[in-house]
Chain A
Amino acid sequence: MWKQPYFVIGFSIIAFFLAGSFIYEWIWGNVPRQIYYIMEGGRAVEGAPISPNWQFPLGSDEFGYDLLGKLMLGAKYTILAALAVGALRMLIAVPLGYILGTYLDKHRKWISSLADSMHYIPLTLFAAFVLTPVLWMPPEGFTNTIWERIGIQVLIMALLTVPIVAILIANEAALLRDKEFILAAKTLGAGRFRIIRKHLYPQMREKIAVLYGQQVMETFIVFAHLGLLKLFLGGTKVSYDPMFGDPPMSISYEWAGLFGSTFRYLQSAPWLPLAPVLFIGLTIFAVSLMMEGYLRSKNPKVKKMQKGKAEEPLVEWNREQLRAGMVRLKEKNQLK
């Protein structure tokens, strides 16, 4: 796995974001540097938001905070939350899927058509609908802490698509269960639990890993969508002041919030919403690189194909040799 370049590149991108996020906070504290205007020859030439330049690679936001610093500070929230959502979802869905696929096989049909109805509800819509009471600050303020809210959000987002993932795994397990080696194990007296643990799980380990990667990618997308709806990771600070109400704000610097709260500046300061989305895209790309690298390390199909290709010229050459030999044979016959 660690020899696959794809996996290593993907892993280092994510590790860079995570480590960078913690180191940034450790060195510079959890407030990014702030600058109100750029001086040039004793005159202010540009006020906040400052467009990207060498000193501020991604520019600054409307209050003069360095955008790159904000993104780095927020990286840990977004990435860890997405990884946690995926992990929690798999932790619940995999055992559930196995139970459905083995113990409750008779009921699998109707349960799967119930889970199928989820396919008609747009995921973002569903998540927004369910998470609004959790994340939208009520007029009297939040009653729970930010970590509690992040925990609740992660749990709910994990639970949302558990039925679909569980059904996927159940169907896969049911397919495998008719294979000869499972029948043989059954004949030898293996119980259902032993079959799951010793036969089904090892067979499906790669599929589960890929499924996990897909869940993480999907979670990033949903986070970004929720950000557009002003539902930020860890809650949205809403100002209920009728006169000087601030726009809804994210409490941490997580990426969805950075994107969602700056979307209206798309035309005037495009780097503000674009940078967080680019970062999200980069992270998703890193996850897909890791998945590809993992798969390549597990089944060396690609290597075999290359070997097959290497053998091909040999066949060509043989044929030519054969033809040459036959021509010679013909000539010999004609000579006679």
Chain B
Amino acid sequence: MKLLLKFFIAVAGIILASSLPVLIAGWLKGQWRWNIYFESIGTTLQELWPINEIAFFNYRAQRPMPLFPNVFEYITYSLQILFLALLVAVIVSLGLTIITMLLSEKARERVKMALYFLESVPDLLIIMLAQLAVVLFFKQTGILISKIAAVGDDRIYWLPVLCLAILPTIQLYRLAMLTFQEEERQMYVDLARALGFSKVYIVLVHMFRNAIISVFFQSKKTMWFMLSNLFILELMFNLPGIMLFLRDNMYPAGFLVTVFSFFLPMFFLYSLGEWYFVRRMRGKEAV
């Protein structure tokens, strides 16, 4: 019930945001266009209603095409890249964290410092360097590792996923390091150590279970960051994804469709995670 309320509030927030340009265009001319703003929201919602009749101008096909089911291709492609990158980032960062936790205190501080400064590398730089590197490699050896731009409707996977995963990996790595170190100060770690468990076992079994919850709840910002990156990635690789679709349809209805295509799976994922972790925490208290 609470979840449903949260869902509707979030939906309302997105809908309110979708017509903001109207308000700002009016504001530029020195007037408050509240009426037009709410009208725009109304018409946008009406436009969306018979959901299978919406037509958008398709840039690649150069003619208007019905939104459904065409848009699903875009959405699935974007979501595939997003979640593959997320999966890579989570696995790599957690793996590295566990390895780093076994190192000495001094080495850990150094790693944390390096990560902190690595976070300031702009995503654009990573993508551009990756593209340049692929071309350079091709020129040197004649082997094309991956295409650097999608032409027409072909799909490229691993290079975009890699580019998208690098920065979130660094962020999650640092976040996980901080949480694990916080966890290390807890009493139960001392107890486990006193009982003679090895360091690897404590980190892997005891600390991991507790720290992962906190990492999950703090990972929302990384997800947000990844969405922006995905947008840029699709532009730079010319991927036929939902973000590129939006660029050609920069008006409220297109905005809504795009945002919802991300909002629904992500909201679902986070609610599921929250529900699972909260239930587990409660279960622990009961036992």
Contacts and interface: CB of A to CB of B under 8 A. Distances in A.
Interface stretch (A90-98, A270-278, A326-334): A270-278
Nearest to A121: B259
B111 interface: no
Contacts of A274: 125, 128
B266 A132 contact: no
Please classify the interface of chain A as helix (H, G, I), strand (E, B), loop, or mixed, using the class held by over half of its residues. Answer: helix
Nearest to B260: A120
Nearest to A163: B13
A1 to B, nearest CB: 18
Interface stretch (B88-96, B115-123, B209-217, B277-285): B115-123
Contact of A113 (B6, B231, B250): B6
A278 B24 CA distance: 33
Contacts of B123: 221
A120 B228 contact: no
Please classify the interface of chain B as helix (H, G, I), strand (E, B), loop, or mixed, using the class held by over half of its residues. Answer: helix
Interface string A259-281: 10001001100100110011011
B228 A267 contact: no
Interface residues of A, number: 49
Given A144-B28, A277-B124, A281-B120, A120 B259 contact: yes
In which size bucket is the chain B interface? 35 or more
A123 B262 CA distance: 13
A221 B128 contact: no
Contacts of A132: 21, 250
Contacts of B122: 220-221, 224, 277, 280-281, 284
B131 A266 contact: yes
B17 interface: yes
B231 A288 contact: no
A123 B228 contact: yes
Given A116-B10, A120-B262, A267-B131, 9 more contacts: A113-B6, A113-B10, A121-B17, A125-B231, A129-B255, A130-B24, A224-B124, A228-B235, A287-B120
A152 interface: yes
B14 A129 contact: no
From A128, A129, A132, A228, residue with most partner B Cβ within 10 Å = A129
B145 interface: no
B17 A119 contact: no
Interface string B195-219: 0000000000000000000000000
A50 interface: no
